Structure 1
Amino acid sequence: MPFDDTTADQRTWLCGQLAVAAAQVKGTLTGRHSFGWHERTVGARIDTPDGPLWLRVISEHERWSRGDSWTGNSDANDETFASVPKPMLLDMLEWTVGDQRVRAELMTYVPDETLADDMIFRSHVELPEAWWAALRRGLRAVSAVRHTKRVIIGDDVLRHHLLAAFGFDLDVDRLDWSCAHGDLHWSNLTAPTLWILDWEHWGWAPRGYDAAVLYCASTLAPDLAAQVHQHFADQLDTYSGRVAQLAAITKLLCRVEDGDHLDLAKPLHQLAAALLWQLQQE
């Protein structure tokens, strides 16, 4: 095994693979390293003869390195995403170390900071109307994508999740579907210029899923949650949007079960109760 099951060892190993990738593309790593959830990925600015770029490394066991999340960034790199404010994938390398498959992605550099260090926002932020308008345009362009077979959450899985979590049996025939980013939270969004980062998980989901994830990730910052709802009420306040919020709640409650964001549990359950009441009235 290339690393132990400890965070420190995994980070060290990932940083070593990042250095290997940097040498391959003949660049110099600068700035701090940014780690993904559970140290599955690492990225950093890299200075090259063509200017600053972003180098990202992801590692998976060989058996898991062929799914949608492995190819998400490259799958979102065609002309249908040209109007989406996102980094471009410029080059890609893959290699194997032991039973681990490593993928390095060289991307355009985004100078703006993410709005949070993790997916949950807990404080106050003033975002201008132009920022919200850019987010709506970007997500509208994503929802217009039709060519993919990628799925974030299918109808059978969604139905089973909501039955297990809330005893709610959704009417699949009433759902509208569209493509979504799939992981739209505050550490994947930048300001003052909007960039939408991390396209590992995009694909089909109930319409309004991105707005639902962002709204649920804002429940500890009520003023911000109100802004999200204000700008996406046309998606959230529908049958599909309410179901999408329940799906987002189950996603975040899985994090709570893992010991992350324990302060989210109560407000998420309160939101779920309100949504279930609304759905029963329809």
Structure 2
Amino acid sequence: MSLSVSAARAVDLRVEPVDEVLDCVERSLQMRFDRDTVVRKRRSVGARTDRSTWVRIERRGLDKIGVQGWNGTECADRLIGIAKPTWHGCVVWRDTDAAVMWRADETGVLPGTPVGTSVLAEDPQLPDEWWQAMNESLDALAAQHTRRIATPDTVTITQSLVTESIRTAFSCDFDTTVEQWVPAHADLNWANATGPTFTLFDWEDWGNAPRGLDSASLWGNSLAVPALADRVRDERRRDFESRDGKLMTLFVCAKILGPDAHPEDPRLVPARDMAARIVDELQAG
């Protein structure tokens, strides 16, 4: 199959024409999209189908696929005890005009809408049942086994990446060795979870990661709403109080405070304060 977007420039599917891609997937999966339900993100497009399913289409560079492939949604279907959509099938193809591949995964429809954008600006007022289901799902996920390695932001997470990220962002000399690696969603944000009924979706990047990555990621995406960030830390206290959880909090803070940070990002001050606190704790032993 051949699609027209070029690898010579950055591609943002929120603004690229995608009708050709949608037509291609319709032919391959033998269904029709409800074009009124199309949701565009930077590197993916999704929509409801005429057989009451949902299809997510992603464009990914060959350099971001790696040896384990990029069948995360398919592999996640065997995970148990987690609130997530059922996987039905997929179609994958390499673009003949660019060094990229396309993948369309068909899953069950979600029980609700995404809680919000990835980073929230106001409290979504989620019921206690939502938090209970989230905790049950994250605990069930961490208790399972996989050979997959998580790829947050499409980058494989390794010990060297954790160490480099923390040491580059913060002046510290404590040991950054991760003690426990467990399965993680690796892209836990408010756009990938539904409410008021909890479901976790977009499983492309899941795999083993340092304990606490998911908890720290959700906390980092909640910092603009202090009460919400506090609720995340309270609900996932066991992660945050662990040494690995503290390292993951620094890992997330390093991303927030990085060179591309917007000077008016409301998360900057709380992230900087939390990072300073954790650095002191880890240096104190």
The bucket for the TM-score relative to the shorter chain is 0.7 to 0.9
Distance 1:69 1:262 in 2: 34
Of Structure 1 and Structure 2, which has the larger fraction of its residues in helix?
Answer: 1
The equivalent of 1:158 in structure 2 is 162
Change (3 A) 1:258 1:59: farther
> Which structure 2 residues correspond to residues 6-85 of structure 1 after superposition, within 5 A?
11-30=15-34, 31-36=36-41, 39-48=42-51, 52-66=52-66, 68=68, 70-78=70-78, 81-85=79-83
What letter corresponds to residue 120 of structure 2 in structure 1?
A: F
Change (3 A) 1:10 1:125: closer
The equivalent of 1:274 in structure 2 is 277
Distance 2:45 2:221 in 1: 22
* Aligned residue pair count: 273
The equivalent of 2:222 in structure 1 is 218
Q: Is the Cα contact below 8 Å between 2:180 and 2:210 reproduced in 1?
A: yes
* TM-score of the superposed pair, with normalisation by structure 2: 0.86
The equivalent of 1:145 in structure 2 is 144
- 1:123 is displaced (CA, Å) by 0.4
Change (3 A) 1:216 1:68: farther
Distance 1:67 1:46 in 2: 31
- Say what the alpha-carbon RMSD is for the aligned residues: 2.5
Change (3 A) 1:164 1:173: closer
> Which structure 2 residues correspond to residues 106-125 of structure 1 after superposition, within 5 A?
106-117=106-117, 119-125=118-124
Return 5+ residue gaps in structure 2 as ranges: 152-156
* 2:201 partner SS: coil
Q: Is the Cα contact below 8 Å between 1:15 and 1:42 reproduced in 2?
A: no
* TM-score of the superposed pair, with normalisation by structure 1: 0.87
Distance 1:69 1:267 in 2: 36
The equivalent of 1:128 in structure 2 is 127
Change (3 A) 1:9 1:140: closer
Matched, 1:180 2:184: yes
What letter corresponds to residue 70 of structure 2 in structure 1?
A: W
What letter corresponds to residue 24 of structure 1 in structure 2?
A: S
- 1:223 is displaced (CA, Å) by 1.0
Query: 1:184-241, CA deviations, whole angstroms, 9 ceiling, x for partnerless residues?
Result: 1111111111110111221222211111111111111011111111111121022111
- 1:258 is displaced (CA, Å) by 6.6
What letter corresponds to residue 81 of structure 2 in structure 1?
A: S
Distance 2:227 2:69 in 1: 32
Matched, 1:193 2:197: yes
Return 5+ residue gaps in structure 1 as ranges: none
Distance 1:240 1:187 in 2: 25
Of Structure 1 and Structure 2, which has the larger fraction of its residues in strand?
Answer: 1
Distance 1:234 1:180 in 2: 15
Change (3 A) 1:95 1:122: same
- 1:261 is displaced (CA, Å) by 7.7
What letter corresponds to residue 143 of structure 2 in structure 1?
A: A
Matched, 1:88 2:86: yes
Distance 2:32 2:178 in 1: 52
Distance 1:92 1:174 in 2: 35
> Which structure 2 residues correspond to residues 253-268 of structure 1 after superposition, within 5 A?
253-254=257-258, 257=260, 262-268=265-271
Distance 1:18 1:259 in 2: 34
Distance 1:267 1:230 in 2: 16
Moved more, 186-195 or 258-267: 258-267
- 1:260 is displaced (CA, Å) by 9.9
- 1:142 is displaced (CA, Å) by 0.9
What letter corresponds to residue 281 of structure 1 in structure 2?
A: A
Aligned-pair identity in percent equals: 25
Change (3 A) 1:160 1:6: closer
What letter corresponds to residue 89 of structure 1 in structure 2?
A: W
